[in-house]
Structure 1
Amino acid sequence: MFRPTWQQVLGHGLYLGAMSAVASVTTGVIVALAWPGRSGPPGWVWLALIGGPLLLGAAAGMVAGRRTGVEVGAGGIRTSSVFEEGEAPWHRVVDLRAERRGRRNVVSVYLDTGASVQLHAPYSGGLFAADPQFELKVFTLSHLWRSHRFGGLPS
């Protein structure tokens, strides 16, 4: 089983929270411009507009991050996330490799149909997305795939 590291989950949660806070503050600025009087809304409203979405987004990101992962078994590779699930049986996998996609290194699985599937974990990137054991995890996945593809049991 491969899941995002706790740093990756925290980073994803903070990103979602920050985007939610930006949207909330933007809405607050629009409301403040239309607020009757010159003083605008009280100070606690701004704190709520920043803190509330930031905390809710961070919590949602952490819950979603812990539900995201890849399960490797005798039947193949099974991916799961909050929004989608998929399975790639070993007999359909023709290649498995690490690739650079955007600012991240990800694992891509190529199927005999010509389609490629980007796994939700493991991945590595900068700052919070870094995974110090990314290469080891890719090696483990590759070893399991080769063992099923060409015979023999993983040692």
Structure 2
Amino acid sequence: MDAARFRPTWQQALGHGMYLGALAAAVMLLATLGALGWTRATPPHWVWPLLAFGPPLAGAVAGVLLRHRLGTSVDAGGIRTVTPFRAAVEPWSRVVDLRAERRGGRNVVSVYLESGASVQLRAPYSGELFAADPQFELKVFALSHLWRSHRFGGVPS
């Protein structure tokens, strides 16, 4: 049973999906323009709005639907980062420090391991616009409390 689970907010999932969809739309538009330049064909007029707006909308829907499959789970075994394709576990015995840091345009939680490596957690994080999480500080505090509880004597009941 998880002591805590942190997922991206629905706004973060929506924004991330739209971002990936916009990248896909740009690639598809460039590929279509290249193919049209090569073949000298003219597509129907409805193709352009479909290529421009279809992928970002599909990405937004996919981001919100996949939101529950992303994030960070914390339990007695350690910290587990979860993505749709894999999950990685860092046992409490390897965790040396846990802190919030500024990386790029976001505040993220980094876990420092005794090997000297650091792992950036998938959630919680906070940034601007769609990436904002008004409860970021509370989530970092909860993570820090769980880490300290496991590090220095177990979780209080």
Fold match by TM threshold 0.5: yes
Among 10, 14, 28, the residue aligned to 1:10:
14
Q: Which moved more, 1:81-90 or 1:52-61?
A: 52-61
Distance 1:104 1:112 in 2: 25
Across the aligned residues of Structure 1 and Structure 2, the Cα RMSD in angstroms comes to 1.8
Point out the more displaced range, 77-86 or 100-109: 77-86
* CA distance 1:31–1:152, change in 2 (3 Å): closer
2:36 maps to 1:32: yes
Following the alignment from structure 1 to structure 2, what is the Cα–Cα distance between the partners of residues 51 and 101? 30
Mapped partners of 1:146, 1:111: distance in 2: 14
Structure 1 unaligned residues grouped into runs of 5+:
none
Does 2:114 correspond to 1:112?
Answer: yes
Change (3 A) 1:152 1:67: closer
Provide Cα deviations, 1:7-50, integer angstroms capped at 9, x if missing partner.
0000001001111111111122223334547xx32201212222
CA contact (8 A) 2:13 2:60 kept: no
1:70 aligns with 2:69: no
1:124 maps to 126
Cα deviation digits, residues 72-128 of structure 1 (max 9, x gap): 111111111123321111121110000111111110111111111110000001110
Query: What TM-score do the two structures reach when normalised by structure 2?
Result: 0.88
> Which residue matches 2:139?
137
Runs of 4+ in 1 over 6 A off after TM superposition: none
TM-score by length of 1: 0.89
| Secondary structure of residue in 2 paired with 1:43 | coil
Q: What letter matches 2:22 in structure 1?
A: A
How far, CA to CA, are the matches of 1:102 and 1:153 in structure 2?
33
Matched residues, percent identical?
64
Corresponding residue SS for 2:43: coil
Q: Letter of the 1:114 partner, please give it.
A: G
**Is the Cα–Cα contact under 8 Å of residues 12 and 65 in structure 1 kept in the other structure?**
no
Partners of 1:75 and 1:98 lie apart in 2 by: 22
More divergent stretch after superposition (85-94 vs 133-142): 85-94
How many corresponding residue pairs?
153
